[in-house]
């Protein structure tokens, strides 16, 4: 009797389940994720992620910046933004391929594209974090963004070592360097912003405002006041 051999294919999970696994079970997900299958699914993932994240970001920016109103141009901007994220997927896949090459991992472009698409779930996380923006000052907002970035570095390390078979030591060094750089940038940003707030409150600045009021024309001083109001808004956000 002739035996019939049947190939058992793993059950394909939904994008929703893949997204949850990427965030909360990254080792399990990246160890078993498919490395082939075409570019359709990765592109669809990024379109979905950006379509969720973009409206949230636009709504928050529109609410925070009073001069911006939601209209057809805002909508067209969102569509254009989604297109840029799709382009970013292929650029990100190339960058990830370089990272994988440095770490002696899989340099197949499609595999790197698919990993890059999975990491794009952070677009949604970043968008959702903006919902807290009105409740946070500038320092706390920077800290939240930094935490998301650091978790992204952790996911990148897991993706390199589990999905792309990169050497763990090299991947760890790479992600630690990138994380350290962004921590330094964030700390520097917080320090500079706080210094700016101190300058706004300084007696010298108050004296400058008074002198400017005496010497400037009404129109020039009105413009100067607008600038000072923006600085005051930054100071309030820091506090």
> What pLDDT, on the 0 to 100 scale, is given for residue 13?
73
Q: What is the pLDDT of residues 139-168, one digit of tens each?
A: 788 889 899 999 999 999 999 999 999 999
Question: What is the rounded average pLDDT for all residues in the chain?
Answer: 81
Question: 7: pLDDT confidence band, cut at 50, 70 and 90?
Answer: very low
> Is-contact 107 151, C-beta < 8 A?
no
The count of C-alpha atoms lying within 13 angstroms of the C-alpha of 238, restricted to the half-sphere facing its C-beta, is 19
**CB crowding 91-115: b at 16 or more within 10 Å, else e:** ebbeebbebbeebebbeeeebbbbb
- Please tell me the distance from the alpha carbon of residue 22 to that of residue 117, in angstroms, as a whole number: 11
- Is pLDDT above 50 for 6? no
Q: Once rounded to an integer, what is the mean pLDDT over residues 46-53?
A: 88
List, as own/partner pairs, every contact residues 26-33 make where C-beta atoms lie below 8 angstroms and the sequence separation is at least 24, other chains included.
26/154, 26/155, 26/158, 26/159, 26/162, 27/158, 27/162, 29/118, 30/115, 30/118, 30/158, 30/159, 30/162, 30/163, 31/162, 31/163, 33/114, 33/115, 33/118, 33/163
Band of pLDDT at residue 2, cut at 50, 70 and 90: very low
Res 234: pLDDT: 58
Collapsed DSSP state (helix, strand, coil) of residue 131: helix
Note the pTM of the prediction, 2 decimals: 0.77
pLDDT in tens, 191-216: 887 777 666 666 766 666 666 666 66
């Amino acid at each position: 009797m002739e035996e019939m051999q049947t190939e058992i294919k793993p059950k394909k999970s939904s994008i929703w389940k893949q997204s949850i696994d990427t965030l909360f079970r990254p080792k399990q997900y990246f160890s078993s994720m498919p490395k082939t299958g075409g570019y359709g699914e990765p592109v669809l993932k990024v379109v979905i992620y950006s379509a969720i994240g973009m409206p949230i970001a636009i709504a928050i920016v529109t609410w925070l910046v009073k001069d911006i109103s939601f209209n057809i141009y805002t909508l067209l901007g969102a569509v254009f933004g989604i297109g840029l994220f799709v382009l970013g997927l292929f650029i990100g896949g190339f960058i990830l391929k370089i990272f994988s090459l440095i770490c002696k991992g899989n340099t197949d472009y499609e595999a790197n594209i698919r990993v890059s698409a999975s990491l794009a779930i952070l677009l949604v996380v970043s968008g959702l974090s903006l919902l807290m923006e009105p409740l946070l000052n500038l320092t706390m907002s920077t800290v939240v963004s930094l935490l998301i970035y650091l978790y992204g570095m952790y996911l990148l390390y897991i993706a390199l070592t589990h999905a792309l078979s990169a050497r763990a030591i090299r991947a760890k060094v790479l992600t630690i360097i990138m994380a350290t750089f962004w921590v330094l940038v964030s700390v520097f940003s917080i320090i500079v912003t706080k210094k700016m707030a101190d300058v706004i409150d300084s007696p010298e600045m108050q004296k400058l405002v008074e002198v400017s009021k005496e010497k400037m024309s009404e129109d020039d001083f009105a413009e100067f006041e607008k600038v000072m109001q923006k600085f005051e808004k930054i100071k309030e956000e820091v506090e």
